[in-house]
Amino acid sequence: MRRDTWVRVGALAVCVLVSAALGGWQGWRNATVEPPAPPSVCPLIRPEVFDLLVPAHGALRTAEQNGPGLRSNYCLTESASTKAGARAHLWVSIGRYGRHEGRGPRCVDRDGLLTVLNNENHAVALGDRAVYFIAGDRETGRRINLSACFGTYGVLVQYEATDAADTAMVASATAVAQEVLSWL
């Protein structure tokens, strides 16, 4: 073979190898890897915690909320209405992350999970990272949203109550998240 033929064959081989490497990397980067299911969240919280935070609560309700690269389930309970209008609501979700759209399975790497717009986030010493914000007013009900990450798990707690002090709500939501994280 002539020398220019060898150069063409070599150049073609390099192009094929570079294209295969880039295509493989892009495919791996954008692949969705579904994670294993997280444990059911209701049994991870002691019944007395539900009784304390949501007095006269109804039955615990559960459901799954899955998406690409995420498997999760939640537990919800609400207090029965009272004549005085006092009420409480507790929603707890546990999610397990996999790989999706170039993002790895670590919870702290997820966009928006630990950042909330239009509210001030406050850090909590829990898991790999945790933040909360409080919204609403005391008369109609204050609501705390707490997000905590631990490895590939994300725990979300939404607790709403009337006539509750902010410090008590923070302590309550943190205790619920800690209760869930202690099982992981």
pLDDT in tens, 65-83: 888 888 999 999 999 766 5
Which of 113, 39, 108 lies closest to 74 in space, CA to CA?
39
Q: What residue segments make up the domains of the chain, in order of their start?
A: 1-30, 42-181
Helical H segments across the chain, by residue range: 3-30, 47-53, 166-181
Determine the Cα–Cα distance for residues 25 and 13; give it in Å rounded to an integer. Answer: 18
Residue 19 has pLDDT above 70, yes or no: no
Q: Does residue 33 contact residue 98 with C-beta atoms inside 8 Å?
A: yes
Supply the pLDDT for residue 32. 81
Is pLDDT of 175 > 70? Answer: yes
Which CATH number describes the domain made up of 42-181? 3.40.1000.70
pLDDT at 20: 47
Q: Sorting pLDDT into bands at 50, 70 and 90, what band is 117?
A: low
Confidence (pTM): 0.80
Task: Tell me the pLDDT tens digit for each residue of 92-112.
Answer: 999 999 888 777 888 888 766
